[in-house]
A and B are shown apart, each in its own frame.
Chain A
Amino acid sequence: MTDAADDDAVLLRRSAAGDADAFARFVARHRAGVHRFATMLARDAHDAEEVLQQTFVQAYRGAAGARVDGGARPWLLTIARHALARLRRVAQAGPDTVSLEQLGREAGFADPAATPERVAAAVESRQLLHTALKALPAGDREVLVLRELEQLDGARTAAVLGLSLEAMKSRLHRARLRLLAEVRRRLPAGDEP
């Protein structure tokens, strides 16, 4: 059972009242997760660290008004996502116009050589999976990191992304197919599934 004193909402309330020790505990609890999220989405380690710092500075400033029922991670990742967007200084991607059929083909749908076993063997390589993820468009990477790596549930993932649940599910499905296509491209010669 979670000690009430350790609850995110309690720590943030104390932080807002000027209790620096409470905020230090809050930071210690969440900093690795925010850093992982930023590292997967930022251009480089420098930007990731910048996002990490901006996230917790803003979290401290916004502690009094934070709504973190069920945990502060989605709230923090939303702040981190906005910090990333400011750093990238790029326009939002346009609508995804590639057909689902084409995405499926590129991912190996209807390819007799695309066996689950060969995909499983490929994704055992942390490096291969990491490189494949990094090759995806930012929107695809973002939904995969939130849903699969951070393992937020569907509703929280949608909330962080500012999407409806249905729109998030559609983006997630297409992102999975694109990632599978990237994994296939990175298999050693002669081992393409």
Chain B
Amino acid sequence: MNVPPGGLTCFEVLAQLSDLLDGTLAAPQRQRVELHVAGCGDCARFGGAVARLIAGLRTGAVQGEGGGEALPGAVASRLDAAWRRALDPP
């Protein structure tokens, strides 16, 4: 009977993929998962795809409309008026 790489099945690796990518797996388990990924084309490919997805999100590739670093002037003015009204209720 063939032993899967790292002694883990692909499903077990899928379940731990985010922990691997986030660096939150304890060392012995991380080594087993890494060993599996090194010997499994499917898991290496899928892990790479998820990693690229996360990188795309984290590099600021997506923002909400008008949700960049600068707030539109009119939105900022209305915000300013709202909290100042709370400061000095009529």
Residues of B within 8 A of A32 (CB): 67-71
Residues of A within 8 A of B83 (CB): 23, 27, 53, 56-57, 60
> Total interface residues on B, using CB and 8 Å?
46
Please report the C-alpha to C-alpha distance between residue A183 and residue B49 in the assembled complex, in whole angstroms.
Answer: 11
Query: In the complex the two chains form, is B67's CB within 8 Å of A39's CB?
Result: yes
Q: Chain B: which residue is nearest A148 at the CB level? A: B57
Please report the C-alpha to C-alpha distance between residue A169 and residue B21 in the assembled complex, in whole angstroms.
Answer: 12
* B7 → A minimal CB distance (Å): 19
Query: In the complex the two chains form, is B49's CB within 8 Å of A45's CB?
Result: no
Query: In the complex the two chains form, is A100's CB within 8 Å of B42's CB?
Result: no
A39-B67, A109-B10 known; 15 new pairs, CB 8 Å cut-off, are: A24-B80, A35-B75, A36-B63, A36-B68, A39-B65, A49-B75, A53-B82, A104-B14, A109-B14, A114-B45, A124-B61, A126-B61, A126-B63, A173-B17, A176-B54
Please report B residues at the A interface, Cβ cutoff 8 Å: 10-11, 14-15, 17-19, 22, 24, 41-42, 45-46, 48-58, 60-71, 75-76, 78-80, 82-84, 86-87
